[in-house]
Structure 1
């Protein structure tokens, strides 16, 4: 079971998470737990690291005092006796360690990616001993591990490290498997691991889901349950489309398509690990444990008359177009373009090239654009091949996903008609060879209108 930050942010949520674990343990189930940082702790750690790099020691001290008070307060109302004392000691020791790191950052006025990962790791590391203490206060045996201590081994891509899966599964089985098999409840800090030199790494946003899948695979679990604050994966973001409903069942492929295109609830790499081992995933609501939820398995459930399952919206996107008549018959330009994107570790969300080969358009997250575009201009402009590089930052991506779309004629026509009726102009379109999704770029202001139009056209409020 993995409990996200939204589940652990409040007293009610933390106690409910412990109650869920206790209930299944007392029924005789073997349970392992992965915990995220409490609430917005990760964001606050990131801000503190940046401010420390700017030399703001006063803010760092205030942050550390607030962080310690928050976690000690949790110890006070969630645990009792010796369990509480040990949790408080662990929290205080980690806050002291974090203070040394942040003051070191302030001293040299720099935070390298490796140091940043180390700072961010404290969110999950602080959660784990508190959750362990809460379980022990209920009379349950528990042991806590950092991701590193549990045996999660990654490459050295700090900030978005990739697990070395086979080595990780072997290590986790050896280190966590024994107490787990004996009925002790392991509590593992999500989101973090370590490279082969022992340096702490982070798995990227949503990385606790990946930790849970790795743990489930290593321990031969029957299922992995991902607890959050919503009733599973929805047909659309309910903030955009109020009639959105829970999707009861998804295939691994459908889930990966949806999570890649912004659906909330699960990390795509977590799905990949589960798919490789046929490990079922369930996305459930901590605050409504018996309510609707989503099951993710190998099989794709396709209902007659319902071709699509969900429509997703990715905000904060930029569309970059590299153009010039000389691009035709010049594959070396595309090679150089991809090389630049690789060097900047920029993920391409969508890409399209017209049959004239006169331009290449691609969508990326807006975050790296300020650094990426000047580099593209420096490396690609100035010759006879690339004549212009245009950037649009007021766009978003809309994606329609569903296994029923595969081999079904007329899907694209319905998409175009539905959005055209709402006066939405499509800037770029792409469909993967899997035929599980159709994605397109529109103006940011038109994104919600497109989502509503497709949700209505494909009856997604009825199909779940």
Structure 2
């Protein structure tokens, strides 16, 4: 079997965790499987690189040098604590030194110019995965296996030039990934690929957005027609709710691509929202497993499954730190293009809309945006829409959250919405806005952020999600 497996930054943050990751890889290889590994940056390293970019753009030399020294110390200590083979350690040390020097030169150039472009920032952020992959590759070699690490771009992941959130060119990437990785697999060499980044057709480094290493793994799996993708985490899989909010949350054993995508979109940080797109067409199963509980099969994500009577709802998701905007005016009724204009203003300024609702009266349009974009969004809409005949008022609320009820079993099942809002009302929670997609896979609504956890608890109890189906 060909398995593409991804290891998150938490599993590469300490020597014992890296050793555990290598042990998992070795077990698969010893069973006769072909393995491709995708790795994230060590935990918090990407955040430090973002901070370093910011300090460089302001020419804060002292703070910048401090961050670089800390990153150097972190990765060299990991290398020394993991690698026993003297020759492998020497090679890794030289490799890390070269990467640190390249990062330092880039950051110093930004500091001298006092200018940080999106292109430069992507290049800087790509170093986190380069460091971790160099160390993981050496650790695998230390166990007597053959391995070779490369960047996402070198492996063949080609994207557009939307720096910071690049979109993969899947057909071109598929050709290049096969050309680069298949010969290595044929020689029993384990390819180690940096997650999160790729490159343009011209070879300029890009990043796929935060959490994009899952996406890297599924792009590779789709291209090489892998038998399975395994996303190794510190948790057992997707949960029926956030266990920090709902103490009776349990692991979901089997879930469809569509349901998992909805859960990811509505706040579950276990999987990247776009990650499932490449594997859906190829129907490649994705499994989320804990590296520290190998007896647990985790969550299996597949095309579709038979819906059991008890499985109307699969999970309750929760997005914090949301802002609600309401655009109103009696003249909106029957005036074409108002909603399009609103969303174009926001889209042109890079503001993401999380949820939309418009009443049948058409007197107002309500939508949710990330809270850190709320002030900017309101200012733009006031500047562009007020003063005319159509829009009379733009109001906002900053202390709200989104709660989403997700499950394929809701489709065609009468009374689900009634149960949802009855359970919430019985807890004295006021619903500020409601939306349901035409797919009927989710019912989402907005409440005050303080009421969010209570809503999650009430719905988890109402649909008895703590019970194994």
Q: Kindly report the root-mean-square deviation, in angstroms, between the aligned alpha carbons of the 2 structures.
A: 1.2
Match of 1:81?
A: 86
For 2:286 and 2:376, the matched residues in 1 are separated by 38
The secondary structure found in structure 1 opposite 2:161 is coil
Deviation of the 1:2 alpha carbon: 0.1
Q: Aligned pair 1:55/2:59, yes or no?
A: yes
Q: Aligned pair 1:336/2:341, yes or no?
A: yes
Match of 1:248?
A: 253
User: Contact conserved, 1:306 with 1:459, CA < 8 A, in 2?
Assistant: no
For 1:289 and 1:346, the matched residues in 2 are separated by 41
Give the alignment partner of residue 305 of structure 1, picking from 310, 313, 326.
310
The secondary structure found in structure 1 opposite 2:274 is helix
Match of 2:43?
A: 39
Q: Aligned pair 1:71/2:94, yes or no?
A: no
Task: Render the CA deviation track for 1:90-138: whole Å, top value 9, x for unaligned.
Answer: 1111111111111122222221211111111111111111111000010
Q: Which runs of 5+ in 2 are unaligned?
A: none
TM-score of the aligned structures, taking structure 1 as reference length: 0.98
Match of 1:278?
A: 283
For 1:368 and 1:201, the matched residues in 2 are separated by 24
The secondary structure found in structure 1 opposite 2:249 is coil
Match of 1:93?
A: 98
Between 291-300 and 418-427, report the one with greater CA deviation: 291-300
Question: How do residues 430-449 of structure 1 correspond to structure 2 at under 5 angstroms?
Answer: 430-449=435-454
Between 393-402 and 266-275, report the one with greater CA deviation: 266-275
Q: Which runs of 5+ in 1 are unaligned?
A: none
Match of 1:324?
A: 329
Match of 2:122?
A: 117
Q: Aligned pair 1:406/2:414, yes or no?
A: no
Deviation of the 1:292 alpha carbon: 4.3
Match of 2:392?
A: 387
Q: Aligned pair 1:17/2:18, yes or no?
A: no
User: Contact conserved, 1:249 with 1:301, CA < 8 A, in 2?
Assistant: no
Deviation of the 1:264 alpha carbon: 2.8
The secondary structure found in structure 2 opposite 1:162 is coil
For 1:196 and 1:235, the matched residues in 2 are separated by 41
Between 21-30 and 81-90, report the one with greater CA deviation: 81-90
Match of 1:428?
A: 433
Match of 1:134?
A: 139
User: Contact conserved, 1:83 with 1:133, CA < 8 A, in 2?
Assistant: yes
The secondary structure found in structure 1 opposite 2:431 is coil
User: Contact conserved, 2:287 with 2:298, CA < 8 A, in 1?
Assistant: yes
For 1:89 and 1:392, the matched residues in 2 are separated by 53
User: Contact conserved, 2:39 with 2:192, CA < 8 A, in 1?
Assistant: yes
Count of aligned pairs = 464
Deviation of the 1:305 alpha carbon: 2.5
For 2:283 and 2:330, the matched residues in 1 are separated by 48
Match of 2:152?
A: 147
User: Contact conserved, 2:14 with 2:78, CA < 8 A, in 1?
Assistant: no
Deviation of the 1:407 alpha carbon: 0.5
For 1:311 and 1:324, the matched residues in 2 are separated by 34
For 2:117 and 2:305, the matched residues in 1 are separated by 43
Match of 2:180?
A: 175
For 1:294 and 1:307, the matched residues in 2 are separated by 18
Deviation of the 1:368 alpha carbon: 2.3
Between 9-18 and 234-243, report the one with greater CA deviation: 9-18
Question: How do residues 136-215 of structure 1 correspond to structure 2 at under 5 angstroms?
Answer: 136-215=141-220
| CA distance 1:120–1:407, change in 2 (3 Å) | same
Match of 1:453?
A: 458
For 1:317 and 1:343, the matched residues in 2 are separated by 20
For 1:36 and 1:281, the matched residues in 2 are separated by 18
Deviation of the 1:373 alpha carbon: 2.1
Task: Render the CA deviation track for 1:9-62: whole Å, top value 9, x for unaligned.
Answer: 122211100000011111111001000000110111111111221221101101
Question: How do residues 1-12 of structure 1 correspond to structure 2 at under 5 angstroms?
Answer: 1-12=5-16
For 1:340 and 1:244, the matched residues in 2 are separated by 40
For 1:91 and 1:107, the matched residues in 2 are separated by 24
User: Contact conserved, 1:309 with 1:463, CA < 8 A, in 2?
Assistant: no
Match of 2:240?
A: 235
Deviation of the 1:385 alpha carbon: 0.9
The secondary structure found in structure 2 opposite 1:227 is strand
For 2:328 and 2:7, the matched residues in 1 are separated by 47
Between 356-365 and 453-462, report the one with greater CA deviation: 356-365
| CA distance 1:157–1:60, change in 2 (3 Å) | same
Give the alignment partner of residue 371 of structure 2, picking from 366, 375, 387.
366
The secondary structure found in structure 1 opposite 2:467 is helix
